[in-house]
Amino acid sequence: MKLKKKTVLDYRVILKPDKRVGSKKSCYVAFCPTLGVVDDGDSPQEALKNIKSTIIFHLKCLQKEHKEIPVDNLNEEMVTNTQVPFSPNPLTRFAI
């Protein structure tokens, strides 16, 4: 019996607190920009567990459709923040 070789892929995931629509209950949203998939959970750990399952499902769908699998190249990419000047007017609202 021949065993399948497993490859471990690294994906960048952005995790942020949010509120559920309708109930306004606190939750966490996890987003994988490389694959364009999102999931959530009641805690950061649950959101990360859920996004991992969503990523696996998405990869299996791409594979089944014989499509290219996008991957992050962590050695060549950089994630950072930047600050930009902005002058709000009296009607400006920030989504915080």
**Checking DSSP bridges between strand 26-32 and strand 37-41, what pairing results, if any?**
antiparallel
**Domain extents for the chain?**
14-64
> What are the b/e assignments for 31-46, b being 16+ CB within 10 Å?
bbebbebbbbbeeeee
- Please give the average per-residue pLDDT across 63-71, as a whole number: 96
Q: What is the pTM for the complete model shown?
A: 0.79
Contact 7, 63 (CB under 8 A): no
Compare 32 and 74 and report the one with higher pLDDT: 32
Whole-angstrom distance, CA of residue 68 vs CA of residue 51: 20
pLDDT for 1 equals: 61
Give me the percent of the chain exceeding a pLDDT of 90.
74
Q: Which two tokens stand for residue 87?
A: 């002058």
